[in-house]
Amino acid sequence: MCPSDFNDEILFANDDYDDHEEVASAEVEKSWHVLIVDDDSEIHSVTKLALSDLVAFNGDLKFSHAYSGKEALEFLKEHDDVAIVLLDVVMESEDAGLQVVKAIREDLNMQNVRIVLRTGQPGYAPEESILKEYDINDYKTKTELTRSKLVTTIIASLRSYIQVTTINQNKLGLEQVIYASSELLKQQSLVNFADQALKQLSKLLNIKNNGLFCALSHNPQAINANQMKVYAATEDFSNLVGKQLLDCDNGRAINQITLALSDSANKLEEHETIIVFSANNYQAAVYFEDGRKNYSDTEKQLLDVFLTNVSAAFANLQLLNQVTEIAYQDPLTQLPNRAQFIRLLNKFSRGHMEIERIAIIDINHFSEINDGLGQEVGDNLLQTVAYRISQMLSENCHLARVGADVFGIIGDAEVLKPEKLNQLFNNPFKAGEHLLPVSATIGFCDKDQAHRTGLNTLKQVYIALNRAKKNNQENYEFYSHEMEEQTAWRLGMIRQLKSDFSNRKLEIWYQPQWNLETHTLVGVEALLRWPTKDGGYISPATFIPLAEHSGLIVEIGAWVLEESCRQLKKLDNMVENKIRMAVNVSMPQFRDGQFVANVVDTVSRFGIEPSRIELEITESIVMDNPETVIDALNQIKIKGIQIAIDDFGTGFSSLSYLQKLPLDRIKIDRAFINEMHKPEGAVIAETIVELGKKLHLATIAEGVENQDQEHRLQQLGCEEVQGFMYAKPMPASELQTLLLQQKQKIS
């Protein structure tokens, strides 16, 4: 309703009130709505007659009538285009007009309409505070309101109405721009951004939302419809979403959008609207099959402000997409990465995907390929593996790279079968100039076993993968809750072991070793014990592997050696003896770079003759890393400390390594002792004893429980024994008593 410029020229027709005013002509473009509110019908007629030929600001006057305050308010509720209200103060009540003013401003919230108060009773004039509080344009008594003054009042009120309306429209327009811009800034995908841009632009331009949003990569050399993709559209164009603009059968739309983008100019026409904007290396266009003519300068300025914000939001969206790509995409394979895979697993775990299974594929010995052939070949291999896996998957499957050499898949159970995935690795993979045979280990987890969160579901399938790596028969495992329970139990045991060790709750017991010929005590084996709160003990077969797995065995092993030396020194002070102390050593201790130095230092610190300390190792330790073990044992042997190999014959060790070990003693495993009553059972025990003699090594049999076993070992020439027949493992106090008893017998 507001013109872009104001024409203050006022034209009057000749009338009986003002004969001297000139009559002029003016083109009438609009009508200004004036509501006359008065309980005197003559006032209505006189006012209308006085102003009937008035043309101001390119508009004539359109009159409406109300004869009470209540009637005026009812009319205003239905008509929001009233520019001026000529309002009588005294009507059905002394302050009826003032009550109407209050209702207009407060209840109807009509802030633009101008109010001119008129009264025939000067004594009822409103106070100055009321005029200011309710934004009353003017106040006149009816006696002083001549035609000339009435015209002046109308002109001033119209000018005020135009200014207030323009200000409020600009304010509303800016608020709409701010709101629309904020809505666009919230969007995190181009599809949502495009949909929101269509809605907000149609509101801002006050046109029907019937069109499409398309975007293209900026190419200054050639801008054409081939590059354009439709990201959002209204119903008439909805079938084009996700397609190229050329798929649209509206040739005019294609042509007009292309021209607008080429010119980088908006087209605001009566039957068509095209808005263009750009950000970074992208351009976009919004096309509406509707339009308007005669946009005001204010509307055009608001559109420019909005498009500036749209471009900024579009640029932010492009930056967000780039950041998202970095955050959720593997740059080598262009697959989703671990973070994105977890997001997909969240949907999978909550039942938002109509697929049933997860698989994790771990390439075996990938680090060896990287180390041996170079990282470039390793990268090529990963790309080839990713491509081959993707080729066998169905459309609803999701493939991701979740680790350096690990791929994750979410898909149908029919697709993610062990045999199908294993077929992928039947043929070698091309990596650069190399054809590489590759194997893999696979973990599976079905939806009915999955956790409610993606991260925990990934943990579950990794549990299955790790279990598969320990499976000697198959290269895959399916997750079950029992696996996680076992893992949780194992972690709980490790935590408790650490706590009890820190609080010195572990104990060392000692099992005596006897000379088979003289039946005298010649040594003891230090054995670690873990007591429980109920007075029982946890089996070493249970907690020693846990200690080794967690690395705690290094610290525990050092403590066992130290306590054993301390106990041996205490026994020496009680009873003069020459017994030796055997201490078991595990593989993690050998991997510790300070192992040899710590052993030598501990023995020296307690003043123990080195030959009275014997380190026991198993065959599996030797075979795990022969060179490291042999080198460490040679350094220990030079210091005079003895070496025994435990459980000999159970690990199928190589005799060539046996010759290289600086051994003093071979222990015959209890399994062979238990079989000695059988005709063929004594063969292995006899062979071990004979081997020891030929290698100049002493032999000791463990697990001796009866006299028949003792007699047979004596016949074979075995020198020493230990077992329940002689003594069970005992705490230090009982060992001290046993030594005193042995001393008394000798005496």
Q: Tell me the per-residue pLDDT of 475-494, one tens digit each, with 9 for 90 and over.
A: 999 998 888 888 888 889 99
Token reading at 322: 């780039």
pLDDT reported for residue 3 = 38
**pLDDT tens digits for 604-637?**
999 999 999 999 998 888 877 888 899 999 999 9
| pLDDT given at position 18 | 42
pLDDT greater than 80 at residue 11:
no
- Predicted confidence at residue 576, as pLDDT, reads 76
Give residue 5's pLDDT band: very low, low, confident or very high (50, 70, 90): very low
548 neighbors 563 (Cβ within 8 angstroms): no
Among 204-213, 231-240, 357-366, 369-378, where is mean pLDDT lowest? 231-240
Tokens of 687: 């062979």
Structure tokens at 215: 């975007």
Nearest to 5 by CA among 115, 166, 132: 166
* 664 vs 26 pLDDT, higher one: 664
| Region of poorest pLDDT, from 37-51, 80-94, 126-140 | 126-140
**Residue range 312-316: mean pLDDT, rounded:** 75
Amino acid at 346: N
Distance, in Å, from the CA atom of 501 to the CA atom of 532, rounded to the nearest integer, reads 12
Mean pLDDT over 240-266 rounds to: 82
pLDDT, average across residues 582-593: 92
- The span from the first CA to the last CA of the chain, in angstroms, equals 128
Single out the residue of 659, 653, 593 nearest to residue 622, CA to CA. Answer: 653
Which residue has 């959008």 as its token pair? 257
Residue 123: per-residue pLDDT = 57
- What rounded mean pLDDT belongs to the chain? 84
Looking at residue 481, what is its pLDDT?
86
Nearest to 453 by CA among 327, 335, 352, 336: 352
In this structure, are residues 569 and 591 in contact, taking their beta carbons and an 8 Å threshold? no
What single letter denotes the amino acid at residue 223?
A: I
Taken in order of first residue, the domains within the chain and their CATH numbers are 10-170 (3.40.50.2300), 187-327 (3.30.450.40), 338-479 (3.30.70.270), 501-746 (3.20.20.450)
Alpha carbon of 423 to those of 267, 386, 419, 426, 463: distances in Å? 59, 14, 6, 5, 23
Supply angle C-alpha 559, 564, 568, rounded to 5: 150
Specify the DSSP element, H or E, that contains 409: strand 406-411
Residue 122: pLDDT band with limits 50, 70, 90: low
- The residue behind tokens 């000999």 is 648
Q: 66 pLDDT exceeds 80?
A: yes
Tokens 């409406």, residue located = 64
* Spatial distance between the Cα atoms of 123 and 51, rounded to a whole number of angstroms: 27
Average pLDDT score over residue span 283-306: 83
Angle between helices 552-574 and 481-502 (to 10 degrees): 40
Please, what is the Cα angle at 405 between 404 and 409, to 5 degrees? 105
What whole-number distance in Å separates Cα of residue 707 and Cα of residue 709? 5
**Would the pLDDT of 747 be above 80?**
no
Nearest to 260 by CA among 245, 239, 247: 245
Strand partners, 581: 524, 613
Q: What does the block give as tokens for 593?
A: 């770079």
Where does the pLDDT of residue 712 fall: very low under 50, low under 70, confident under 90, or very high at 90 and above?
very high
In this structure, how many other beta carbons lie within 10 angstroms of the beta carbon of residue 387?
11
Give me the DSSP letters along 52-113.
TT-EETTEEEEEEEESSHHHHHHHHHH---EEEEEEESSSSSTTHHHHHHHIIIIIS---SS
Using 50, 70 and 90 to split pLDDT, how confident is the model at 677?
confident
Is the Cβ–Cβ distance between 586 and 555 less than 8 Å?
no
- pLDDT for position 281: 66
Most confident by average pLDDT, 235-244, 257-266, 268-277, 701-710: 701-710
Per-residue pLDDT tens over the stretch 561-576: 999 999 999 998 887 7
Distance CA 40, CA 28 (A): 30
> Which residue has tokens 């997860």?
358
420, containing H or E segment: helix 418-423
What is each CA distance from 49 to 10, 140, 160, 662, in whole angstroms? 16, 18, 23, 130
Query: What's residue 322's pLDDT?
Result: 65
Reported as a pLDDT band with limits 50, 70 and 90, residue 222 is: very low
What angle, 0 to 180 degrees and rounded to 10, lies between the N-to-C axes of helices 552-574 and 540-550? Answer: 120
Q: Is the pLDDT score of 248 beyond 80?
A: no
The DSSP output letter for 143 is T
Of 31-35, 289-293, 501-505, 725-729, the one with minimum mean pLDDT is: 289-293
pLDDT at 217: 53
Between 206-215, 312-321, 547-556, 643-652, the lowest mean confidence (pLDDT) is in 312-321
- pLDDT at position 556 is 96
| pLDDT in the model for residue 67 | 95
Beta strand spans in 497-612 (E): 507-515, 521-531, 537-538, 580-584
Would the pLDDT of 277 be above 80? Answer: yes
Average pLDDT over residues 3-27: 38
CA distance 709 to 677: 8
- Model confidence pTM above 0.85: no
* pLDDT given for residue 221 in this prediction: 44
Is beta strand 138-141 parallel, antiparallel or unpaired with respect to 114-119?
A: parallel
What is the predicted pLDDT for the residue at 321? 66
pLDDT of residue 199: 85
Using the 8-state DSSP alphabet, how is residue 283 labeled? Answer: E
For the cut 70, the answer to whether the pLDDT of residue 420 exceeds it is yes
Contact assessment for residue 87 and residue 116, using Cβ atoms and an 8 Å cutoff: yes
Please check whether residue 227 is in contact with residue 190, taking contact to mean a CB–CB distance below 8 angstroms: no
Higher-confidence position of 732 and 130? 732
Spatial contact of 270 and 291, defined as CB atoms under 8 Å apart: yes
Answer whether residue 600 shows pLDDT above 70.
Answer: yes
665-668/642-648 β-pairing: parallel
pLDDT at residue 186, as a whole number? 66
pLDDT at 219: 47
579 SS3 class:
coil
**Residue 340 amino acid letter:** Q
Distance CA 510, CA 642 (A): 18
